[in-house]
Amino acid sequence: MHAETNIPKISEPLHINKRTTVLFIIGIIILILLLFLIGIDKVWSAMSKLDVRILLLLIGLQVFIIFLHTLRWAIVLYDKIKNKEISFTSLFLATSVGLFSGNIVPAGSVVSEPIRAYILSKLDNFPVAKSFGSAIINLNLEILPVLLLIFISLYFVLADEISLYVALLLIIAAIVVGILSLVSFLSIVDRKRALKIVTFFIKLFSKFSFLKKRMSETKNKIDDIVSEFHDGAKYGLNIKIFGLGTIISFIIWFFSFLRLYTIFIAIGYNIDIVVFVTVLVVVLIISYIPTLPGGIGIWEVSSTGLYTLLGVPSEYAAAAVIVDRIISYWFVSLFGYTALIVAYKRINNINELEHSEKKRLK
- Domain total in the chain: 1
Phi (first) and psi of residue 102, to 5 degrees: -65, -20
Helix (H, G, I), strand (E, B) or coil at 162: coil
DSSP string, 1-38: -----SS--TTSS----HHHHHHHHHHHHHHHHHHHHH
Evaluated on CA atoms 72, 77, 83, 86, the torsion sign reads negative
Which pLDDT score, from 0 to 100, does residue 216 have? 55
Which pLDDT score, from 0 to 100, does residue 306 have? 87
Domain presence at residue 11: no
Which pLDDT score, from 0 to 100, does residue 10 have? 38
pTM: predicted TM-score of the whole model, two decimal places: 0.80
Phi (first) and psi of residue 173, to 5 degrees: -60, -40
Domain presence at residue 117: yes
Mind listing the pLDDT tens digit of every residue in the chain (362 residues)? 343 334 334 344 555 567 667 777 887 888 888 888 888 899 899 999 999 999 999 999 999 999 999 999 898 887 778 778 889 999 999 999 989 988 887 666 666 777 888 888 888 887 776 777 777 777 777 878 888 888 888 887 777 666 677 777 777 777 776 776 666 666 555 556 656 666 666 666 565 555 555 555 555 554 555 555 555 555 556 778 888 988 999 999 999 999 999 999 999 999 988 889 888 888 887 777 666 666 777 888 888 988 998 889 999 999 999 999 999 999 999 999 999 999 988 888 877 776 676 666 66
Distance, in Å, from the CA atom of 244 to the CA atom of 78, rounded to the nearest integer, reads 12
Which pLDDT score, from 0 to 100, does residue 316 have? 94
Which pLDDT score, from 0 to 100, does residue 156 have? 77
Which pLDDT score, from 0 to 100, does residue 55 have? 95
Domain housing 115: 18-354
Beta strands, E only, 88-197? none
Which pLDDT score, from 0 to 100, does residue 153 have? 80
Which pLDDT score, from 0 to 100, does residue 30 have? 85
Domain presence at residue 359: no
Domain presence at residue 295: yes
Q: For the chain, percent helix, then strand, then coil, each to nearest 5? A: 80, 0, 20
Domain presence at residue 121: yes
Which pLDDT score, from 0 to 100, does residue 294 have? 66
Domain presence at residue 132: yes
Phi (first) and psi of residue 49, to 5 degrees: -75, -15
Helix (H, G, I), strand (E, B) or coil at 51: coil
Domain presence at residue 95: yes
Distance, in Å, from the CA atom of 65 to the CA atom of 71, rounded to the nearest integer, reads 10
Which pLDDT score, from 0 to 100, does residue 209 have? 53
Which of 66, 188, 200 is CA-nearest to residue 137? 188
Domain presence at residue 60: yes
